[in-house]
Amino acid sequence: MKTEAVKTAKRTLDILEAFGESQEPLSLSEIARQIGSPVSSCHGVLRTLKGRGYVYLLDGRRYYPTRKLLDLGSRISAHDPIMDRLVPHLEALQARTEETVMIGKRQDHEVLYLLAIESPQAIRYTIRTGDTRPLHASAIGKALLGQLPDERLLHDLRKLKLQRYTETTLSSVEQLAGDIRSSRKRGYFVTRGEYSAGGMGVAAAFNLASESFAIAVAGPLPRMKSKLPAVGRAVLDAAEALSRATQKI
């Protein structure tokens, strides 16, 4: 029974995300095909969502979400006690660096991005809130791993699947541990095309409610490389400011 409830919850989120990807009304068969789920299972979820006012039926066969989900999300977001304090610092860092900025935390072997503001520049690094990246190939992941004492660091690195995404991905425990140790000395952590070949990230960790988070700046590799010291300083300043702002949370 518990397994079926988990499957239903996952299927509900898959359906909502399918609308986000398609950005157009979808029929029952299109939804089932897009999320790889039986038509009968999707029909049950859609019937419940329709009954609760989260989706409506268009021309008798296609579904689309109502604004109820947006309104609910807006009400929740408006009273978030943590994000309210983080956003001004994220905006200040974005204005200072003119690149995409983000905050993330560790979720098992990945980084979960909790907040992101994209650069206004035409060519920029793009990421969405809720996206994930592997710990070993992201600047935030390295910054969070860098918070661990050496013994725990090596233990965790040995448990990671160090998949090679590009030619510059650090795919051995020795390489990654060496990079993290040297990065600790300067305070910020860098990825140079290690997840996507053309991107570069710079991150620093901060603590919030006894948990480790990290803030990062990311952008095209050539542009970021040319201003690395300045971006590194900006990221460190932002991390320090966030640590002070969240001490009372």
Dump pLDDT digits (tens) for 75-92: 887 777 667 778 899 999
Classify strands 189-192 and 199-208 as parallel, antiparallel or unpaired: antiparallel
Per residue, the 3-state secondary structure of 113-131, as one string, reads: EEEEECCCCCCCCCCCCCC
pTM over the 0.75 mark: yes
From 11, 119, 83, 131, select the one nearest 246 (Cα to Cα): 83
The CATH number, out of the four listed (1.10.10.10, 3.40.1360.10, 3.40.50.2300, 1.10.3720.10), of the domain defined by the range 2-71: 1.10.10.10
What pLDDT score was predicted for residue 249?
58
Say if 2-71 and 80-245 have the same CATH topology: no
Domain coordinates in residue numbering, the chain: 2-71, 80-245
CATH number belonging to the domain at 80-245, selected among 1.10.10.10, 3.30.70.260, 3.30.450.40, 3.30.460.90: 3.30.450.40
pLDDT tens, 141-162? 999 999 999 999 999 999 999 9
d(CA 221, CA 194): 11
Q: How many CB atoms lie within 10 A of CB 208?
A: 18
Sheet holding 132-134, edge to edge: 132-134, 110-117, 100-107, 211-220, 199-208, 189-192
pLDDT tens-place string over residues 122-137: 999 999 888 999 999 9
